[in-house]
Amino acid sequence: MATAIKTDILNAFLDKIDESNFSSLKEKAQQRLRETGLPGIKDEEYKFTSILRKIEKSIENFSCAAASELSEEDVQESLPQGFSGDYLVINNGKPELNLSKISSQHYKVTLLSEAENQTLGSIAKIEKDPFTALNSASFADGLSISVDKNSKIEQPIFILLFNKANQGEVINSRLLIEIGENAEVSFLENTISLDERAYFANQVVEVKASPNSQTKYAKLQNESRNAITVNNFETDIHRDAVFTSTVISLNGDMVRNNLSLNLLDSGCEGNMYGLYLLNGKTHVDNHTNVDHTKPHAESNELYKGILTDSSRGVFNGKIFVRQDAQKTNAFQQNNNILLSEDATINTKPQLEIWADDVKCSHGCTTGQLDEEALFYLQARGLGRDQARGFLLYAFAGEIMEYISDDSFRQQVIDLVQERLGSQI
Amino acid sequence: MLSIKNLHASIEGTPILRGIDLEVKAGEVHAIMGPNGSGKSTLASVLAGREEYEVTEGEVKFKGKDLLDLAPEDRAREGVFLAFQYPVEIPGVSTTNFLRTAVNQVREYRGQDPLDAVKFLSVMKEKMKLVEMDQKLLSRSLNEGFSGGEKKRNEIFQMAMLEPTLAVLDETDSGLDIDALRIVSNGVNKLKSPDTATIVVTHYQRLLDYIVPDYVHVLYNGRIVKSGTKELALELEEKGYDWIKEEANAASV
Ligand SMILES: Nc1ncnc2c1ncn2[C@@H]1O[C@H](COP(=O)(O)OP(=O)(O)O)[C@@H](O)[C@H]1O
Ligand SMILES: [Mg+2]
């Protein structure tokens, strides 16, 4: 029966798609989706995180949302205090260039619909994940951001997304980011829910990090209690390039992050840091994937989670080391603190190593708050809640250090501390 | 100041303290000695409010208040300080970091104004001298990678910052070399006043050369089986605990 509903929703959705642009990508994606459908709980990749079931339960109108009203004030209120860099505004997937600020000469922003781009869909492939296919089949527009080679963008570029159910409840946002050779840039991202109504936001970000470039991408996920989101983030990292992702997940109904770093050549480095602080019934699933294809590349991964109430976390960290990728250094760690009996975490490292000369380490821990440490701090006069806050922040704090922009880091730290001060 | 009457406590159903009586007055120093496993740390922990221990009988009054009724943090704010036998390592929390909050919460409880960052720093500098503490150590993760002596000095440093009325030092001397012992004892002695009291739990008489006790008690099998003056400590040093055990065992038959 579930299959019948699934087919109905999806086919009805696919039947309505406007194919006036990106038609060849859309057609291929549609065709594939009609074959595969959306993954249910029998699908190994989605067995803990049934986005489909969530959609069936919470989404009433499974069709694309129209852009909603958005003011300059909404934008200013949402940027971190003291932030002075450029920002790009996206409204239910639709780029709002007149609400954006683009002052640097060293990068170009264009609408994806403006000019054909061969790279689009070549990094985030529709075969890789059904939700990537779903976005590819139905997105209306998006942004292409291209950073000039040999240039350093001094101030971070803030990508500010606004989401709201409006007529339809499906929101497709799409970014294609190309970093030129030797370029250096930092992106920050935050998504704002404009109200509390449920929506399904399905994002695709494709990044090409050209040789010897340095890119940071820090993302805050603090959407409404009813937001269902899938975030497909696919990165091609070329020779000697460094790419660092930091994802902070604080709120939402069900959040699935598919983060892939493809280390395509020697000398490159991919880093993935994550923090999830979950309460209520929030469900956050981080599926990460790092693919070592050539010798002498390095990857580092550290995800930390604090879960309370009946929240649920999933961490699945894939490390793939191909036969060619000798002298690989790959490090992965996932640590969790569970504060309540009903909170759960499923954590799984998944290592596939085909080369023989590699350094690969991984580990995961799940524990409770250290009662001995709690007592020590209380015995020095700290209230129990405060002592808890100190210990939890001590556990989580290092992840925020990977956010290089002061104003954004402070915004995130304030949110985290507020959460940790109050029972998390 | 402190009055313990017929205190019984157990852990996971096993009785550890079986009727402790102890009176401590302002200005006094009491030493508690006794063989390993006799219940000294348990007594110290019960006073500080460690939750694993269940008090099954008896009462503890501190400055007239029922101490056992108070949460651990309120005991600290009332002026009880426990220097841990095994100070806990807390990664990611530095001494300076938590101590400023702790000191100000204690001050608020006592009706004093909070210390601002500048004042806190100057008080800290002054107290650091007392135990010859390096500031670098205080901004590192609490006790993590500290030597034994550094951990114990950090305990006394925190005590100096919190200005307790009753200090309970649980084997603060164990594992210290002579220099560290001198520094730690010096710190404790400088903090003594006619209004404060100290309970030193120790294995070794040598500490009592530095911190001179008014009374010495021997704890054995969860009871104070002998009390005396500092001469008792010398006698224990000379003869060991066997004769105490024999006396106690004979008495309890
Ligand atoms: N957490 C615990 N669980 C079980 N037994 C304990 C625990 N703590 C102490 N004990 C027992 O209580 C007794 C007294 O211990 P303790 O108070 O540490 O003695 P002391 O400090 O005099 O060496 C010992 O027999 C010890 O094994
Ligand atoms: Mg002991």
Per residue in A40-72, pLDDT tens?
888 999 999 999 999 999 999 999 999 999 999
Nearest to B235 by CA among B210, B253, B211, B208: B208
pTM above 0.80, yes or no: yes
**Burial of B122 per CB tally in 10 Å (0-12, 13-18, 19+):** exposed
Please report the ipTM that was assigned to this predicted complex. 0.95
Of A372, A378, A391, the CB nearest to B93: A391
**Is B172 near ligand 1, meaning CB less than 6 Å away?**
no
What span, in angstroms and rounded, lies between the C-alpha atoms of A219 and A274?
9
CATH numbers and ranges of domains, chain B? 2-252 (3.40.50.300)
For ligand 1, is residue B198 a contact (CB within 6 Å)? no
- CA B174 to ligand 1 centroid distance, Å: 17
Q: Which residue of A has its CA nearest to B92?
A: A394
CB contact under 8 A, A381 and B73: yes
Cα torsion A127, A129, A135, A137 to 10°: value is 30
User: Which residue owns the Cα nearest ligand 1 atom 13?
Assistant: B37
Question: How do the pLDDT tens digits run along chain A, 424 residues long?
Answer: 344 455 588 999 999 988 888 999 999 999 999 999 999 888 999 999 999 999 999 999 999 999 999 999 999 999 999 999 999 999 999 999 999 999 989 999 999 999 889 999 999 999 999 999 999 999 999 999 999 999 999 999 999 999 999 999 999 999 999 999 999 999 999 999 999 999 999 999 999 999 999 999 999 999 999 999 999 999 999 999 999 999 999 999 999 999 999 999 999 999 999 999 999 999 999 999 999 999 999 999 999 999 999 999 999 999 999 999 999 999 999 999 999 999 999 999 999 999 999 999 999 999 999 999 999 999 999 999 999 999 999 999 999 999 999 999 999 999 999 999 854 4
What is the spatial distance between Cα A228 and Cα A191, in angstroms, rounded to a whole number?
A: 12
- In 3-state terms, what secondary structure has residue B17? strand
List of residues 6+ apart from B246 with CB closer than 8 A: none
The answer to whether B72 contacts A379, with C-beta atoms less than 8 Å apart, is yes
Tokens representing B116? 């601002």
Give CA–CA dist A258/A157, Å, rounded: 22
- Give the tokens for residue A298: 């390095």
Structure letter (DSSP) for residue A97: G
DSSP letter string over A260-303? EEEE-STT-EEEEEEEEEE-TT-EEEEEEEEEE-SSS-EEEEEE
Cβ partners under 8 Å of residue B40, min gap 6? B32, B33, B34, B170, B171, B201, B219
Please say whether the beta carbons of A339 and A419 come within 8 A: no
Which DSSP letter does residue B69 get?
A: G
Write the residue with the smallest CA distance to atom 4 of ligand 1. Answer: B11
Domain ranges of chain A: 2-369+397-420
Give me the total of CB pairs closer than 8 Å, taking one residue from chain A and one from chain B.
Answer: 74
Q: Specify the pLDDT at position A2.
A: 43
Q: What angle do CA A263, A288, A217 make, to 5 degrees?
A: 70
Contact call for A379 and B77, based on CB within 8 A:
no
A224: Cβ–Cβ under 8 A, 6 or more apart, which residues?
Answer: A193, A195, A196, A197, A251, A252, A253
DSSP 8-state symbol, A225: T
B36 CA to centre of ligand 2 in angstroms: 7
Task: Establish if B49 touches chain A: CB-CB under 8 angstroms.
Answer: yes
- pLDDT tens digits for chain B (253 residues)? 999 999 999 999 999 999 999 999 999 999 999 989 999 999 999 999 999 999 999 999 999 999 999 999 999 999 999 999 999 999 989 999 899 999 999 999 999 999 999 999 999 999 999 888 888 899 999 999 999 889 999 999 999 999 999 999 999 988 888 888 898 898 899 889 999 999 999 988 889 999 999 999 999 999 999 999 989 988 888 888 888 888 888 876 5
Output helix, strand, coil percentages for chain B, rounded to the nearest 5: 40, 30, 30
Instruction: Compute the distance between CA of residue B63 and CA of residue A350 in angstroms, rounded to an integer.
Output: 60
Residue A76: other Cβ atoms inside 10 A: 11
Kindly determine whether residue B73 and residue A394, on different chains, have CB atoms separated by under 8 Å: no
Contact B164/A at CB under 8 A: no
With residue B125 as reference, give the H or E element that holds it.
Answer: helix B117-130
pLDDT at A422: 56
CA distances from A283 to A52, B23, B37 (A): 14, 56, 47
B144-201 pLDDT per residue, tens: 999 988 999 999 999 999 999 999 999 998 888 888 889 889 889 988 999 999 999 9
Q: For residues A16 and A23, what is the distance between their CA atoms, to the nearest angstrom?
A: 14
**Measuring from atom 18 of ligand 1, which residue has the nearest CA?**
B41
Please tell me if residue B50 touches chain A, with a CB cutoff of 8 Å. yes
- Please enumerate in sequence order all residues whose Cβ is within 8 A of that of B172, keeping only pairs 6 or more positions apart, or say none: B83, B85, B152, B155, B156, B184, B188, B200, B202, B207
